[in-house]
Amino acid sequence: MLPNGQGVFIRPIEPSDAPALVEFHARILATSIHNRFFGAHPNLTSQEASSFATIDHRRRMAFVVLDDGTVVGVGRYEWIDNQTVAEVAFVVADHFQRQGLETILLRLLVDHARSNGFTQFVAQVLASNSCMREVFAHSGLSPLFRGHMGVIDVVLDLGTDERHSVGPSLATTRSGRNSTMNHDKRDAVSLSETPTLRGDLGRRVRYWRERAKMTPEELAEQSGMSAGYLEYLETAPTAQPPMNAVARIAVALGTSTAELLGGNVERSSGSAPAVRQPHLVVLEPDRNWTLLCKSGVGRIVFNAADGPVALPVNYAVSNHDIFLRTDEDTVIAKIDADERVSFEADHIDDAMSKGWSVVVQASCEHLGADCKIDDIFDVRVDPWAGGRRQHWIRLRARSIAGRAIEADL
């Protein structure tokens, strides 16, 4: 029963609700769609609806609100990365907004999430979405707010002592409004003081966008969001967009949500299953050098006192020579002059279960620390390991070979 006396039925969402979600999306106003998806999204596809209607009742949970059998609202949370943190989101039919329904859904989601070990909810709200700002501000969950470019990041503490009284009465929600700014001052805690909930999403989005040779406007159009919001994602250090937005960006960029969120950082590449019809392709020499590009990270393989060694190195390529930088006292610097070594670089695309590997057979030439590499060879190497690393090495290619795994998807 809503505070205004109207009765509704709320239950966990079911896969059979997918067609009703498509109809529900078609009925709500463009403003409500914009508030939920942060951009134009006029139609909900059957695939999206099926995904939204599929939950595991633990890491992924959603409640649907029915009025006379018709969907009028959905509240959901979804697990983020490998943490006890979940993203929460709502969409409510326009004529049911500000009737206390969002608060009821939040209460149900909080109770369910807490019983499954979650300690925090995170959300993103457009600054213009005053309804949801008020719901979070009066949630009793010690909300933290941080605004940037018209988007407000929210963190809710599910372990706060106030959790048993999530949400005030409707009268309090309407008459006792406090602005987000006032609530921020009252808490005296900023979002920047909370742990990072995701990796550097903006930098990863920009990396994959530039790799795909797409402009921000092109990516925004293909992922169904505004260019302004995409700019926010690429520049805001605390950006935590809805998972459906990350998924749409990943599809447009030809990668995975895990890749964009940094979920693959501590996982070996290539853990995804093989596709059904892979093809192993031998690459032409010109294609191999193109894949090596001008710089990157590869592995130098050589014989040391204790046997063969393979070490990762930053490198640069110029005129089919490979340049490295190291310290004078490293094992790489002790490789004999003109010794035969191998150099390998590769890329694994887990999202598409494909990749390539290029191997160069070369002789090692020590250029030392005095050679003006930048001026002579027009290359730049910035070792990720840091330090001075002034000893330059040139690998003179004797042969190059590469292979790629391609797939019919």
Contact 324, 330 (CB under 8 A): no
Average pLDDT of every residue of the chain: 77
R_g over Cα of the chain: 27
Question: Of 241, 259, 262, whose CA–CA distance to 250 is shortest?
Answer: 259
Domains of the chain by residue range: 9-193, 201-261, 278-407
Q: Distance (Å, rounded) from C-alpha 145 to C-alpha 190?
A: 7
Residues with Cβ within 8 Å of residue 168, at least 6 apart in sequence = 103, 138, 140, 176
Give the pLDDT score at 394.
92
Q: What average pLDDT score do residues 16-36 get?
A: 82
As given in the structure block, the two tokens for residue 204 are 């990863």
Q: Residue 322: which of 361, 348, 287, 357 has the closest Cα?
A: 361
Q: What is the pLDDT of residue 210?
A: 87
- Going by pLDDT thresholds of 50, 70 and 90, the confidence category of residue 298 is very high
User: At 352, is the pLDDT very low, low, confident or very high (cuts 50, 70, 90)?
Assistant: low
Task: State the DSSP H helix or E strand holding residue 147, giving kind and residue range, or none if neither.
Answer: strand 144-148
Report the candidate in 110, 135, 25 with the shortest Cα–Cα distance to residue 70.
25
pLDDT tens digits, one per residue of 359-372: 999 999 998 776 66
The pLDDT, as a whole number, for residue 19 is: 93
The pLDDT assigned to 174 comes to 28
Q: Which residue has the higher pLDDT, 153 or 161?
A: 153
CA 357 to chain centre: 26
- A 10 A CB-CB count for 171 gives 9
Lowest-pLDDT range of 32-41, 186-195, 363-372, 393-402: 186-195
State the pLDDT confidence band at 376, using cuts at 50, 70 and 90. low
**Residue 177: pLDDT band with limits 50, 70, 90:** very low
- Give the pLDDT band (50/70/90) at residue 313: very high
Confidence of residue 161 (pLDDT cuts 50, 70, 90): very low
pLDDT value at residue 61: 93
246-289 pLDDT tens trace = 777 877 887 766 677 765 555 566 666 666 678 899 999 999 99
The CATH H-level (homologous superfamily) assignment of domain 9-193 is Gcn5-related N-acetyltransferase (GNAT) (3.40.630.30)
Give the per-residue pLDDT at 362: 95
User: What's the average model confidence in pLDDT over 378-402?
Assistant: 85
pLDDT of 198 above 60: no
Tokens for 326? 């190291």
- Quick check: 61 and 112 in contact, CB under 8 A? yes
> Which CATH architecture group holds 201-261?
Orthogonal Bundle (1.10)
Task: Give the count of beta carbons closer than 10 Å to the beta carbon of residue 141.
Answer: 23
Determine phi and psi for 223, rounding to 5 degrees.
Answer: -100, 0
The whole model's pTM is what? 0.45
CATH topology of domain 278-407: Pnp Oxidase; Chain A (2.30.110)
Handedness of CA 304, 308, 312, 317 (dihedral sign): positive
What is the average per-residue pLDDT within 120-130?
A: 81
Q: What is the DSSP string of 157-221?
A: ETT-GGGGG-S--HHHHHHS---HHHHHHHHT--GGGSPP-S--HHHHHHHHHHHTT--HHHHHH
Choice between 269 and 323, residue whose per-residue pLDDT is larger = 323
| pLDDT score, position 165 | 38
